[in-house]
Amino acid sequence: MLNIVIFGAPGSGKGTQSINLIEKYKLAHISTGDVLRAEKAAETELGKLADSYMSKGQLIPDELMIDILASVFDQKTKNEGCKGVIFDGFPRTIPQGTALNEMLEERGQKISAVVSLDVPEEELIERLLNRGKLTGRNDDNYETIKARLDVYYNQTTPLKELYEKDGKLYSVEGVGSVEDIFARISALIDRVN
Ligand code: AMP
């Protein structure tokens, strides 16, 4: 199985690149943000709880996220043709990273590579403000974007060290055309696959 973590700040292009990657490598896409937004749209209890964090740019508590991830993973990978998974937006904390390794190990799998999309902060903010205008996402406003970037730098970037130690971290310049960035990521994946 090809299990890729697509890593990067909000607005770094994880979702956009995931859509191309799942097509090319026949992978299941697990976007924890999409899962939570679907729960919110369906007005479930989980969705309401998640939105109370998301709308402020904060992370949903680890234990809850880890439980959700395991059930989404099992559901998305039950199809026989599934060749692996793209994890988009998970893990976002060290405990989530540890839980992901354990969950995969219990299933006889492991992370193949972590692809980190590097984008300067000014460009992240510009992209997210534009997306907010286009989609109306309630966390794509200036104040919440700032909070999300703080969360990313403080809680998520420490994961890079963990993956670097494991020899799994690959950094890719996330600036340029979608096609060029996709070609950079594909070249990397072809090396580890
Ligand atoms: P995203 O679509 O990945 O940018 O996620 C949007 C929001 O969903 C985040 O700002 C968090 O509030 C929440 N979220 C998504 N994934 C996670 C996660 N792995 N852990 C905690 N919160 C998450």
Helix (H, G, I), strand (E, B) or coil at 63: helix
The finding on whether 7 has its CB within 6 A of some atom of ligand 1 is no
Closest by Cα among 163, 185, 184, 171 to 110: 163
Whole-prediction pTM value?
Answer: 0.96
Candidate list 137, 160, 168, 184, residue with the active-site label: 137
Q: Which ligand 1 atom is nearest residue 91's CA? A: 19
Of the pLDDT bands very low, low, confident and very high (cuts 50, 70, 90), residue 39 is very high
Candidate list 37, 40, 92, 127, residue with the active-site label: 92
Per-residue pLDDT at 80 exceeds 80: no
Per-residue pLDDT at 192 exceeds 80: yes
Of the pLDDT bands very low, low, confident and very high (cuts 50, 70, 90), residue 74 is very high
The finding on whether 59 has its CB within 6 A of some atom of ligand 1 is yes
Q: What is the mean pLDDT of the chain?
A: 96
Closest by Cα among 67, 73, 93, 95 to 1: 73
Per-residue pLDDT at 193 exceeds 90: no
Q: Are 119 and 175 in contact (CB under 8 A)?
A: yes
pLDDT in tens, 91-133: 999 999 999 999 999 999 999 999 999 999 999 999 999 999 9
